[in-house]
Amino acid sequence: MGMMKKLLYSLLIILLVASAGFTAEKKIRWKLAMTWGPTLHPLSDTAEHMAEIVKELSDGNFVINIDASNVHKAPFGIFDMVKLGQYEMGHTASYYYKGKNIAFLPLTTMPFGMTAPEQYAWFYYGGGLELMQEAYTKHGMLAFPGGNTGNQMGGWFTKEINSLDDLKGLKMRIPGFAGQIMSKLGVTVTNIPPGELYTALERGTVDAVEWTGPGMDINMGFHKIAKYYYTGWHEPGSEVEFLINEKEYNKLPEKYKKILKIAMKTAAYDMYIQSYEMNAEAWQQMKEKYPDIKVKVFPEEVLKEMKTAYDNLVASYEKESPMFKKIMESKRAYLDKVRDWTHISDYLYLKSTSESNLN
């Protein structure tokens, strides 16, 4: 019996060690770097929300720790940090990396382009997600929609824009394709990290800043310096993104891959509706507390010139980059299909049921 007990004890120890080893293998710890600071809501909330879902659905075995820009100190370095494996994931915006690949521009948004619902439909049902992977896998990464700001405002200006001449020599923070268009119109364009925008405006480093919409803008304090708030034309549905190191992703068990995709999609859409709520709430506050803010629409002369510059730039980039052209052709074809429905379902509904029409 003594020998039998020893044998049983030995087998039990082996089983316990093997079980512990199996459990340890299933535990995964990732790091995510985001472009945003920890208080830049709702952008900063989105990665945290995604990580919470992953942890919950994996019973705590898959944990993603988040580093905001105040930790890693490289808000526009997310692309390289994820590509090099310093972080397994990133939360950023593709148009910040147009210097890496011009085809990244239309994966965020394009002037005069899709609204957020139209673009989400394109990503998930119109081939957009597949094109997103095609663009990023060349760099050893995968990319997924990471949240939408909705239609953005056109920026805060220290002076009124009445003509094209008012734009010439103006210094403005505006990224992406819109920044290139503004440059064609004579604006001196710069891309300043979010945490430095207020200081740049306050010190006169820039005369105008474009950020997002009332929900995020009001907390930045731009209205204290620049009183002219222009409506949007340039970012009708700005999608930020989750970047994933492809090698690290391929190491995940299939179950965790599915969990990660569910978490990213859920958190992304939540950011969109959170942005909508924040914008509506902030807009009410702005009307009540800051009545001196002047909401303006760019003059028709300016908008027409913007559209001309846009068309010329798109044509130029399509010659330069087959991938850019492929994405743009896909987006145009899909927009041709869905815009009529947007017009009927949203625009005509709002127009026909407005108070002015019913009273």
Residue 143: how many CB atoms within 10 A of its CB? 22
User: Helix or strand or coil: residue 153?
Assistant: coil
- Residue 208: which of 197, 216, 219, 217 has the closest Cα? 197
Task: Tell me how far CA of residue 59 lies from CA of 70, 187, 254, 272, 292, in angstroms.
Answer: 29, 52, 15, 27, 52
> Could you please report the per-residue DSSP string of 105-131?
GGGT--TT---HHHHHHHHHHSSHHHH
Is 203 annotated in a binding site? The answer is no
Specify whether the CB–CB gap between 234 and 210 falls below 8 A. yes
What distance lies between CA 99 and its chain's CA centroid? Answer: 17
Residue 168 to residue 182: CA distance in whole angstroms: 9
The DSSP bridge pattern shows strands 28-34 and 62-67 to be: parallel
* 300 annotated as belonging to a binding site for a ligand: no
Give Cα separations from 92 to 1, 63, 238, 291 (angstroms): 65, 20, 11, 34
- The annotation status of 210 as a binding-site residue, yes or no, is yes
Name 268's Cβ contacts closer than 8 Å, sequence gap at least 6: 46, 144, 145, 146, 147, 148, 239, 242
DSSP sequence for 35-79: SS-TTSTTHHHHHHHHHHHHHHHTTTSEEEEEE-HHHHS-TT-HH
- Say which residues have a Cβ less than 8 Å from residue 159's Cβ, sequence separation at least 6: 166, 207, 228
Under 8 Å between Cβ of 170 and 156: no
Packing angle of the helix pair 300-320, 176-184 (nearest 10 deg): 110
Q: Which tokens is 312 given?
A: 């010329």
User: Which residues are annotated binding-site positions for substrate?
Assistant: 152, 173, 210, 235
User: Which residues are annotated binding-site positions?
Assistant: 152, 173, 210-211, 235
User: Which residues are annotated binding-site positions for Na(+)?
Assistant: 211
